[in-house]
A and B are shown apart, each in its own frame.
Chain A
Amino acid sequence: QKEVEQNSGPLSVPEGAIASLNCTYSDRGSQSFFWYRQYSGKSPELIMSIYSNGDKEDGRFTAQLNKASQYVSLLIRDSQPSDSATYLCAVLDSNYQLIWGAGTKLIIKP
Chain B
Amino acid sequence: DAGVTQSPTHLIKTRGQQVTLRCSPKSGHDTVSWYQQALGQGPQFIFQYYEEEERQRGNFPDRFSGHQFPNYSSELNVNALLLGDSALYLCASSLAYGGAYEQYFGPGTRLTVT
Footprint of B on A, CB under 8 Å?
4, 32, 34, 36, 42-46, 49, 51, 88, 90, 92, 95-103
Interface residues of B in 25-71 (CB under 8 A from A): 33, 40-45, 48, 56, 58
A36 to B42, CA, bound (A): 11
Contact segment of B14-22, B79-87, B105-113 = B105-113
Inter-subunit contact A46/B103 (CB<8 Å): yes
Q: A34-B103, A99-B45 provided; 15 other pairs, C-beta below 8 A?
A: A42-B108, A43-B88, A43-B107, A43-B108, A44-B105, A45-B105, A46-B103, A46-B105, A49-B100, A51-B100, A88-B42, A97-B45, A97-B56, A102-B40, A102-B42
Count: A-B pairs, CB below 8 Å: 51
B78 on the interface (CB 8 Å rule)?
A: no
Q: Report whether over half of chain B's contact residues are helix, strand or loop; otherwise say mixed.
A: loop
The size class of the interface chain B forms with chain A is 20 to 34
Q: Does B76 contact A (CB under 8 A)?
A: no
* A97 to chain B: closest residue by CB: B56
> Are A49 and B42 in contact (CB-based, < 8 A)?
no
Contacts of B56 in A (CB 8 A): 95-97
Does A49 contact B102, Cβ atoms closer than 8 Å? yes
A44 touches B101 (CB 8 A): no
Verify B103–A98 contact, CB threshold 8 A.
yes
Identify 23 residue pairs between A and B in the complex whose beta-carbon atoms are under 8 Å apart, listed by A's number.
A4-B42, A34-B103, A36-B105, A43-B105, A43-B106, A44-B105, A46-B102, A46-B103, A46-B104, A46-B105, A49-B100, A51-B100, A88-B43, A98-B33, A98-B45, A98-B103, A99-B45, A100-B42, A100-B44, A101-B42, A102-B41, A102-B42, A103-B41
- Pick the residue among B41, B42, B45, B90 that contacts A43 (CB under 8 A): B90
Smallest beta-carbon distance A105→chain B, Å: 9
